[in-house]
Structure 1
Amino acid sequence: MTSPFFRKLRFVSGIFLLFVSFCSKAQQTDTSFVRTQAKIPPHLKGIERAPGSSALGAVYYYGEQRLRSPFSLDVPFYEMADPVVTRHYRGFRTLNTISQLTALAPLAYLLFQEKGSQTRTREYWYLYLGSVAASLGLTIAGNVKVSKAVKRYNQVLLENRLGFSIAPLPGTGRAAVGIGWVGQFRTQPH
């Protein structure tokens, strides 16, 4: 016969796993990252990772502006509409949410205690340390995902692009025509 604590732990674990599977299934069936070769908005800037950033938390710069957190990257990522960038960024957000939920496990243990029963300190500390380890691991995995999204974002910005524009000239009734090419020269090793 199992103790009431382990029955409650199995119940909470089951609900947690059900939530995680629901979140991952929702992410897999999302069709918003199917994209044709849409044009990349010209106002998007490169994203840089600050030197000295670690896997526990990186500091990013968008153009010349320092961002407060990786959550500030969602606007340029979604404006680019690249499926790989979107997938990595959504993975980061999912892992971050799960990381925050695992930090609630010790609180759930205390709340689900039967009235009048003693709190087992050993079980509590195992649960507490396990939730800290899981939260830390998920945070690191999420930061790896956002780093992959930044790398892909910058790669897409550097791809060769050809542009064409026509703008009216004020007061003349004529139009100015412009053709532009954005790219980089790649040298072949000899």
Structure 2
Amino acid sequence: MSSTVFTLRPLPAAALDDAAALLAVAFADYPWTRWAVPAQDYADRLTRLQRLYLQYALENGVVLADADVSGVVALLPPNPPEPPSSMQDEVAALHGDRLAAVFGATTPPPPAGAWTLETLGVDPRRRGRGLGATLVRAALDAVPAGVPVALDTSDPRNVRLYERCGFGVIERTDLPDGPTVVSMVSPAAT
């Protein structure tokens, strides 16, 4: 069995639209986005939201992708700056009637000083080849040594991926009329 080697790089600003489109495809059936984003114009809303979030992460954190942008991961440092009001307004409009539910959803806060893995997406045609794990490990390597990384996921398959990469489950939150969100941290508590 041959292993695939992926070349990762910081996402160039010129590839932002490609990365947002990739994430929209990767998250098309993701439990959280199906719950949080209105069904009307879902694909367009999701693409626009992903672009806003990626732009913010590009300006304030770390965004990595493989050479052909078939996989993307984004992290934010502890206490990033408040997003500009124009971004907040656009995010609110895109969430539409789901906004109150989204902002009412509470999960455990990340550990003090933790970075957050905000998103990870792989083109569905490339899944199962190790790109997701490679992106997660590169994201962990991008964080200063000894600093924890926290994340939330609503897909059980992701839990297994993150556990293989050293994350541990800290809590499961059942959202009213929504998905179960699994909060995780790396390194896992021993």
Q: TM-score range by the shorter chain?
A: under 0.3
More strand per residue: 1 or 2?
2
- TM-score, length of structure 1 as denominator length: 0.22
Give 1 or 2 for the bigger CA radius of gyration.
1
Q: Quick check: which one's helix share is greater?
A: 1
